Each structure stands twice: as C-alpha cells, then as structure tokens.
C-alpha cells in the first residue's frame, strides 16, 4: 500500500503520477506501471480512464464476463477499501490479458496526477455505489446506467481479492 506522495512514474506528456492513500495494487501491476504510464498522453484531461495495450501477456484479469451459466455462483461482498458491495463469481478463473486499465485524476496543482486505479484487464465501469466516480462524470445519469449494465454482466473472480467475510451476500 502506498501513501500519497509516492511517485509511480511519468506520463508520455511528462506529468508525474503519484499514488493515492489506501491504494491497493497487485505486484505485477505495480511493476508494470512506469511502462504503462509512459504510454499515456494527458492531453489536458482532468480525469483519464485509459486502457494500455502491451505486446505481450502481462498477467491475469480478475474481472470477467458472466452469463446465465454463472447463475448460482454469484455473490456480493465488500472489499476492505470499498464503500459498497462488489459482484463476485465463484466458478471462474482469472483470464490472461495484455491490457492494463488505468484511472488518473488531475491533482490540485493542475499539472500532476493521482492514480485512482490500475488493474490488469480491459476497461470497467465504476461500481454502482461509487459516488466519487459518478461525480467526475459529465452526465451522472448515463454513467449510472452504464455502470448497472456493465456490472450485471461482469464480476470479480472469487478469492482473487480480500473481502470482509461478514459482508458476503449470496444470490439465490
């Protein structure tokens, strides 16, 4: 876990990227961050959501597409660092990926960025309870609709992340 102020790397457009408080990163993500960040051009954006593609497999994505075949294997649980319940699937394994999804927010200094999230895999919508992410959206109603649609067909692989055991809700 990083504290605010730890320099993680630089963007292609030369802005520095720092860790936010309570940032949880898997080791393979942390190791690849400098290379991934160097491929992103800020282009003056206040909020950056970007998928960086590598020419090789970088690890396994724990966010997978779900279908009716997964019915009976879906549970909801709270991760220690989150404010709400996350959708998990029990009968699936992480999938190989050559992509890293990165979310950055411009810092108050109007130049550098804070890393909000970095994970192996493709783009994800914010979870429905994630008010901070919807506040950053230009059209919160549309963002919430996209979030609901995404998370009704995707889930995090069970046992791939820490959860609070008392928070588990089983879906029948």
Write down the pLDDT at residue 170.
86
Whole-prediction pTM: 0.83
Least confident of 7-11, 42-46, 95-99: 42-46
pLDDT tens for each residue of 156-170: 999 998 898 889 888
118-145 tens-digit pLDDT: 999 999 988 888 766 655 555 656 777 8
pLDDT-above-70 percentage for the chain: 90
Q: What is the pLDDT of residues 10-40, one digit of tens each?
A: 999 999 999 887 777 888 999 999 999 999 9
Beta carbons within 8 Å of 75's beta carbon, 6+ residues apart: 88, 90, 158, 168, 169, 170, 171
Burial class (CB in 10 A: 0-12, 13-18, 19+), 107: middle
The pLDDT tens digits of the residues spanning 74-90 come to 999 998 878 899 999 99
Residue-level length of the chain: 172
Pairing state between β 7-10 and 16-19: antiparallel
How far apart are the C-alpha atoms of 72 and 133, rounded to whole Å?
30
């Amino acid at each position: 876990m990083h504290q605010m102020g730890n320099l993680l790397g630089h963007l292609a457009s030369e802005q520095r990227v720092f860790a936010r408080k309570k940032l949880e990163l898997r080791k393979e993500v942390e190791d690849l961050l400098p290379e991934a960040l160097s491929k992103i051009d800020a282009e003056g954006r206040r909020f950056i959501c970007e998928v960086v593609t590598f020419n090789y497999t970088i690890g396994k994505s724990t966010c997978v597409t779900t279908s009716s075949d997964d019915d009976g294997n879906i549970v909801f649980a709270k991760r220690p660092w989150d404010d709400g319940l996350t959708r998990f699937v029990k009968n699936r394994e992480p999938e190989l990926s050559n992509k890293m999804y990165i979310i950055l927010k411009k810092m108050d200094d109007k130049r550098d960025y804070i890393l909000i999230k970095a994970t192996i895999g493709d783009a994800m919508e914010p979870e429905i309870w994630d008010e901070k992410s919807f506040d950053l959206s230009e059209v919160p109603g549309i963002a919430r609709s996209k979030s609901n649609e995404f998370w009704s067909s995707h889930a995090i692989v069970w046992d791939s992340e820490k959860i609070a055991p008392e928070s588990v809700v089983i879906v029948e």
